[in-house]
Amino acid sequence: MTTRRKVLTQSAAVAGLLAGVGLLPGAAQAAWSQAAFEAKSLQEAVKALGGSAPVESKDVTITGPDIAENGAVVPVGAACSLPGVKRLLLLVEKNPNTLAAVFDVSDAVEANIGTRVKMGQSSNVFAVAMMADGKVLYAAKEIKVTLGGCGG
């Protein structure tokens, strides 16, 4: 028997799903992947960008300091030695929003990107390479922060 309560919980669940994939009006964004940038973990962020489950790989490298004195400016780099990289992602595990940046790499650019991120606290930093054949590879590095960059 379907009670009213059941129907209500089900429709709430469906609404939640729709909001998750950005189908509800208001959540729609142009090119910027809102859902991916709101993700709270590596798996969620990769999934929101349409990737499969990430696998750790030696072919992806992440560069950065072991200890960052100032969390407001932490130089990090992501690189992948394999051909056929479509996207490079940089993520900071313990930031309020895990995903920091997505780079769409074309054939004319090497899969080697450097930038600077903010880190709220010591955390794992991930470099993720999404390959043209659908594989998702990642590398992790722990960066210790002595002074957080997200506090006021």
Binding site for other proteins (CB under 8 A): 31-33, 37, 72-75, 77, 92, 95-97, 99-110, 112-119, 149-152
- For other proteins, the closer of residues 10 and 81 by Cβ is 81
- For other proteins, the closer of residues 13 and 67 by Cβ is 67
Distances (CA, A) of 146 to 119, 143, 150: 10, 10, 12
- For other proteins, the closer of residues 102 and 127 by Cβ is 102
For the bound state, the minimum distance from the C-beta of residue 26 to other proteins, rounded and expressed in Å, comes to: 16
- For other proteins, the closer of residues 14 and 67 by Cβ is 67
**Which residue bears the tokens 């189908």?**
23
For the bound state, the minimum distance from the C-beta of residue 119 to other proteins, rounded and expressed in Å, comes to: 8
Q: Which pair of structure tokens corresponds to residue 119?
A: 């880190």
Distances (CA, A) of 28 to 19, 48, 60, 121: 9, 14, 32, 31
DSSP-assigned states of every residue in 14-33: HHHHHHHHT-STTS--SSS-
Q: Which residues pair with 35 in a beta bridge?
A: none
For the bound state, the minimum distance from the C-beta of residue 77 to other proteins, rounded and expressed in Å, comes to: 8
- For other proteins, the closer of residues 112 and 122 by Cβ is 112
Q: Which residues pair with 137 in a beta bridge?
A: 55, 129
